[in-house]
Amino acid sequence: MGVTDPTIDLVINHIDVILIPETNADGFGSLRTINHGAIACAGDEIVMIGTHDDVMAHVPECKVISAAGKLVAPGFVDAHTHPVFFGTREQEFKMRALGKSYQDIALAGGGIRSSVRKLRSASETELIDHTIPHLKNFLRHGTTTIEAKSGYGLSVADEIKILRVIKKLDSMQPLDLVPTFLGAHEIPDEYRNDRQKYIDLIINEMIPLVVDEKLAEFCDIFCEEHVFTIEETIKILGAAKDAGLQLKIHSEQLASSAATKIAAELGVISADHLDYASDDSLQQMKLRGVTPVLLPGAVFFLGLKTYANARKMIDLGLPVALATDFNPGSCMTESLPIIMTIACTQMKMTPEESWVAATLNGARAIDRDHRIGTLKEHYVADLVVWDIKNQDYLPYHFGINHVVMTIKKGQIVFQNKA
Ligand code: NIG
Ligand code: FE
């Protein structure tokens, strides 16, 4: 019997397999495993992780959860979501099944702008009530932190309303929300004939307010044909950077462009989508330490064919992250396991790579890899008990929820009754 640590108040023991994502020299990261392990927590932190016998030698009388026959992994970190919207867009989903494209629908006034019209009619309370069930779905499917973007308001008042809702939601329920300002998601209806005016509004009014009220950590932009141009991106991200926000970009989702390269030069922490990213874009990301956030769920959901070249990115040593892109238009799912399946089948990522991408590399994309995304001492006790025998099984048996229990900051926040 070793010396017990009296601060330990929760232990998960008899764990068949523990998955531990780690950074390594190749840049992408890897997965270490411990068989027959245990994890001890004190408050919201992990204090000990190792083999069952080693850990149990230090555990005082406390709450014990047996995970015999189960796998334990860090909670997923979903680094790209648009969770605050009002009303859904299944009609557009049907229109695509009947042959319309995402761009056709957007240009006809649907798409992001239809979500904007709906969101503007909602109060903060209505938005909170609308979003909470979705946040529960994240927890039920093993996600313990999400990055959450604004972007369906597109007016000063409505963008601020969304960011305030994100802040309130973060404090009133267990899932962590990391806020991103995405006023540059689309040009709203009332500025279609004077886009410059809307860009001025973002730069002169929205960004200063967001920063003054500490409502976001990141500023993002949708840089694509028919949305924001590269010149506009340089102006908006430049202003956000000067105001003290970290930067992100939606780039090369629908066509190849210089957007990723320019964004890398501006110092973005992540470039997201990248389905058409050129070799030059990948080299620039490598050079500048940009994390690629891949969203294959959006390609799948929109019925498109071109997925990001994850293999090339991994071979280059880029720390590829996988995220859902959860939103009512281009990817209506909170489930990262489904995204891992799509990543393995369509982008030829291995199951092991998909785990690293949905945990540690996701944390890196939101500047949290020093606290979450893996299991180690002094990291946050965000962990998930899975009813699977090995890491490969999760993306393999898809469309089924294998979560037994989700633990957030050392507390059980979801338990599957099945
Ligand atoms: O990330 N690409 C831009 N924005 C979202 C789509 C939002 C919508 O259609 O409502 C995305 O895919
Ligand atoms: Fe997005």
pLDDT at 1: 55
User: Measured in angstroms, how far is the CA atom of residue 42 from the centroid of ligand 2?
Assistant: 36
pLDDT tens readout for residues 348-361: 999 999 999 999 99
Enumerate domains of the chain plus CATH numbers. 10-74+374-415 (2.30.40.10), 76-365 (3.20.20.140)
Per-chain mean pLDDT for the chain: 97
**What does the pLDDT read at residue 172?**
98
What spacing in Å lies between the alpha carbon of 323 and ligand 1's midpoint? 13
Closest-CA residue, ligand 1 atom 9, reads 329
pLDDT of residue 26: 87
Place of tokens 């964004």: 263
pTM passes above 0.95: yes
Pocket test for ligand 1, best of 92, 93, 325 (most atoms within 8 A of CB): 325
Average pLDDT for residues 372-387, to the nearest whole number? 98
- Closest atom of ligand 1 to 85 CA is 10
- Which pLDDT does position 264 carry in this prediction? 98
Give the ligand whose atoms come closest to the C-alpha of residue 186.
1
Span 277-290, average pLDDT = 97
User: Tell me: the pLDDT tens digits for 32-88?
Assistant: 999 999 999 999 999 999 999 999 999 999 999 999 999 999 999 999 999 999 999
- What is the position in ligand 1's atom list of the atom closest to the CA of 115? 10
274 ligand 1 Cβ < 6 A: no
Tell the residue nearest (CA) to atom 12 of ligand 1.
330
User: Which pLDDT band holds residue 417 (cuts at 50, 70, 90)?
Assistant: confident
